Amino acid sequence: MQKTIKKAVGVSGVGLHTGCEVSLELLPAPVDTGIVFRRLDLQGFQIEAQRRWVSRVVLATTLMKRGVMLSTVEHLLSAIYGSGIDNIFIDIDSLEVPILDGSSLPFVEMLEKSGIEEQESERKLLVVEKTIRLEEKEKFISIEPHPSFRISYEIDFDHPAIGRQKLDLEMSPANYASEIAPARTFGFFAEVEDLLKKGLIRGGSFDNAVVLGDEGVMNGELRVPDEFVRHKVLDLIGDISLCGYHLAGHVKAYRAGHSLHTNLATEITRNRSFVRTVKESELLRVPAVVNQ
């Protein structure tokens, strides 16, 4: 069944790139609404969380509809999608979602505080029937047939604190909350000055990101040794949610980022010969497909 939250819940913080103070409130939404942002500072202008509104993917995922922008949406979308929610309104009074602690855990805790309830309409899923694969030089991302939602992600950074990390995880709300949500975004101290000159990370701090110096982490201990690849999975889930449906398929990624993530969401929604819309109750009755 489709799901929404039980009651409104809010938070305030600062935007990672704009540095602007922002307040955000999550509210229940009727069946078949999807995930919808409402810019309260612009008379409630609505921006649906859909791939067609993605305008920029540099260090964050930005939506733009009819000239109205909303930036750094991926952590919040990841929490909503990872928690199994279908319908929700997101009221926000500025142009960037607050970064909070750099993970999606605060958003998951907000959803849990509100409570999640089933609605009187069945969920539809996109079931992958043929493999979709995208490549960008040595990077790639793909999705192939699988009976549930699974992610296998690998990263490889030439840095002593990161190196090569892999994660393979069958996704569920419980797995998401414990294994993915706590992983924080990360960045390199050597790049800070250049990013500031470009008008980015104005709200960045040691409190909302894992900051890496030449030899290691500069601001405390990692939450888990492979926090970096877990955060990449977190970003992927937020970006893939822009396809507008919960998925049954196995995503595999190597050194991918927001661009490949959102491009995959586009291919999933455009190439309907590769996917099939199925009611949740029918999922177990879908016949096995040949991976082509």
* Positions marked catalytic: 258
Residue 190: partners with Cβ closer than 8 Å, 6 or more residues away: 213, 214
Hey, what are 102's tokens? 């750099």
Give SS3 for 79: helix
Q: In what order do the strands lie in the sheet with 35-39?
A: 9-14, 21-28, 88-92, 35-39, 45-48
Between 227-240 and 258-270, two packed helices, what is the crossing angle to 10 degrees?
A: 30
Q: Between β-strands 45-48 and 35-39, what pairing exists: parallel, antiparallel or unpaired?
A: antiparallel
Give SS3 for 110: helix
DSSP class of 22: E
CB burial string 2-35: b at 16+ within 10 A, e below:
bbbbeeebebebbbbbbebebebbbbbbebebbb
Cβ atoms of 210 and 219 closer than 8 Å = yes
